[in-house]
Amino acid sequence: MLKKSLALLLVLTLALTAGLVGCGPKAPAQTGETPAEKQEPMVLNWNLGADPKTIDPQLNSASDGGYVINNTFEGMMREINGKLTNAMAEKVDVSDDGLVYTFHLRDAKWSDGQPVKAQDFEYAWKRALDPAVASEYAFQMYYIKGAQAYNEGTGKIEDIGIKVIDDKTLEVTLEAPTPYFLDLTTFYTYMPVRKDVVEKDPEGWAKNPATAICNGPFKLTEYKMGDRIILEKNPEYWNAANVKLDKIVATMIVEESTMLTAYEAGELDIIDSMPSQEIPRLQAEDPTFKILPTIGTYYYIFNVTKPPVNDVRVRKALALAIDRKAIVEKVTKAGQIPATGFTPPGLKDADGRDFHDVAGDYGIDPNAAKVEEAKKLLAEAGYPDGKGFPELEILYNTSEGHKAIAEAIQEMWKQNLGINVKLQNQEWAVFQDTRHQGNFVIARAGWLGDYADPMTMLDLWTSYSGNNDAQWKNPEYDKIIEASKKATGKERFDLLYKAQQMMMDEMIVMPIYYYTDPVMVKEYVKGWEKTALGHWYFGNVTAVDRK
């Protein structure tokens, strides 16, 4: 994390060097050189935010690391302009029963010039499932036959339904028909890595420019922890001829006020976080400010194994005692929607209905706190008017926005329930470890969908999910999710509705709002993309013309 003084120094440094990285053509030199011969590199200055914990495709489970991976690696498919597009797979054959996918790889190379092979996908996918690797996203591959058994230590690696036919052909057998399986292959966990590269340095290869061999449109050329990442065009990328951007300078400014200052000074081209108090001004005055739709939920998570939140009545009391409308209108101010369940709007069921609308509100009022009901539940749990309630701690990762939300909730709980909570922030990488290890009582969390189906939100809470930070273990819930993966149509969605009802009845999380995605992109940047699932992609940027 950059200290504020260092972040400001970075802004000044960028200001001094801005003239050196413009993308417009130079005037012809006196020697008769043409403008084309002296055209400067096209450079994008983008703020990544926090220093990613990892940018290893199989180990990453965070958005920031995912952004880097999405631009340096490529899976079988890619989402472009909202449509699923063939990427490393030139062609895909699907069996009539929907169980067998045969991927035919295009001619492509790694950034060191070696060919990308089906064996690289096989290695990467089995690596994600290896219990010794402990990938937090291994559960996203349980659709593949034998994957769950191997990951849980009850099956053999040779029983996994991933088979190399030849260097250019990979055959994958699923446990059950999965309509969104191709969407899954766009995700970073499914991206290929090279065995010889990874095994030389399993922990550090991805952040070392000398060993970060990749197959996407850009490659890593510099990594300064807490400072910046530099990506440059990968000339070995199969579609390099259509990649116009030469370099991405990804700064790691965490403070929202500092990044906005840098943006408004013209030293950053793209940011996707800004102080909430500035949003009304930006909406009114800055045409580069946009609010994009996105599929995701901002929430607080309870560690259900720790008192007093091991009591569902306490969890429900805390969830009912906050005013979500006040939070989105007075604190976040970016068009967020008060959340009443875990699955956000925008995901459809088999009948084309919005899953969120059909699911209902689970007793949560989106427009106000239900104070009397909350106080009653807290009293039933043994804490009338908050008396005897221990002082808890809200844990959040360092951010002005997260702090403002925590302060608002702290005050609501004090006024409405008579309880006191402390606030504690941690640097992003440390915070992720703390939350995954269960070393908290209440923590801030957010989940963006990985594919356009409610399952992307709901299988998070299985007992074997590497991202089930609530430490909630419910065998019946596991059975419902597993059954839904083998069902189709209305039967499948009936099970998913039942699953969300179960986790919301237990109130293992406190939904706060459904995300919107405020971004600022300079008008001279053309061809940028951020998908509805929240992924930045710069492979189609056509211009960064600051003239």
- Residue 492 makes CB contacts below 8 A (sequence gap 6+) with 350, 484
Q: Is the pLDDT at 28 greater than 60, yes or no?
A: no
Q: What is the pLDDT of residues 352-362, one digit of tens each?
A: 999 999 999 99
Domain with CATH 3.10.105.10 in the chain: 292-517
- DSSP class of residue 496? H
104 neighbors 92 (Cβ within 8 angstroms) = yes
- Residue 22 makes CB contacts below 8 A (sequence gap 6+) with 40, 43, 546, 547
Dihedral pair phi/psi, residue 136, rounded to 5°:
-70, -15
Question: Range with the lowest mean pLDDT among 27-36, 37-46, 167-176, 231-240?
Answer: 27-36
Q: Give the 3-state secondary structure of 226-276.
A: CCEEEEEECCCCCCHHHCCCCEEEEECCCCHHHHHHHHHCCCCCEECCCCH
Confidence band (pLDDT; 50, 70, 90) for 509?
very high
Question: Range with the lowest mean pLDDT among 22-26, 87-91, 192-196, 373-377?
Answer: 22-26
Single-letter code of the amino acid located at 474: N
Q: Is the pLDDT at 24 greater than 50, yes or no?
A: no
Q: What pLDDT does 22 receive?
A: 35
Q: Give the 3-state secondary structure of 293-313.
A: EEEEEEEEEECCCCCCCCCHH
User: For residue 308, is the peptide bond before it cis, meaning its omega torsion is within 30 degrees of 0?
Assistant: yes
Q: What is the pLDDT of residues 53-102, one digit of tens each?
A: 999 999 999 999 999 999 999 999 999 988 999 999 999 999 999 999 99
Q: Is the pLDDT at 32 greater than 80, yes or no?
A: no
> Could you tell me which residue, 12 or 185, shows the higher pLDDT?
185
Q: Is the pLDDT at 379 greater than 50, yes or no?
A: yes
Q: What pLDDT does 39 receive?
A: 76
C-alpha–C-alpha distance, residues 247 and 237, integer Å: 14
Q: Is the pLDDT at 519 greater than 90, yes or no?
A: yes
Confidence band (pLDDT; 50, 70, 90) for 108?
very high
Q: Is the pLDDT at 209 greater than 90, yes or no?
A: yes
Beta bridge partners of 44: 248
129 neighbors 118 (Cβ within 8 angstroms) = no
Beta bridge partners of 444: 300
Q: What pLDDT does 38 receive?
A: 58
Beta bridge partners of 136: none
- Residue 31 makes CB contacts below 8 A (sequence gap 6+) with none
Query: Which residue, among 507, 308, 305, has the nearest Cα to 390 in the 3D structure?
Result: 308
Domain with CATH 3.90.76.10 in the chain: 74-192
Q: Is the pLDDT at 35 greater than 70, yes or no?
A: no
**H helix or E strand, kind and range, residue 345:** none
Q: Is the pLDDT at 12 greater than 50, yes or no?
A: no
417 neighbors 316 (Cβ within 8 angstroms) = no
Beta bridge partners of 104: 91, 169
pLDDT average, residue stretch 318-344: 97
Domain spanning 1-71+204-269+522-547: which CATH class is it, in words?
Answer: alpha beta
Homologous superfamily of 74-192: Dipeptide-binding Protein; Domain 1 (3.90.76.10)
Pick the CATH number of 292-517 from 3.40.190.10, 3.40.50.2020, 3.10.105.10, 3.40.50.1220: 3.10.105.10
- DSSP class of residue 44? E
Q: Is the pLDDT at 37 greater than 70, yes or no?
A: no
Domain with CATH 3.40.190.10 in the chain: 1-71+204-269+522-547
**Mean pLDDT, the chain, integer:** 93
pLDDT average, residue stretch 427-443: 97
How far the first Cα of the chain sits from its last, in Å, is 32
- Residue 304 makes CB contacts below 8 A (sequence gap 6+) with 310, 315, 470, 471, 472, 506, 508
Q: What is the pLDDT of residues 130-179, one digit of tens each?
A: 999 999 999 999 999 999 999 999 999 999 999 999 999 999 999 999 99
Q: What pLDDT does 532 receive?
A: 79
The residue written with tokens 């926090």 in the block is: 50
pLDDT average, residue stretch 202-207: 96
83 neighbors 73 (Cβ within 8 angstroms) = no
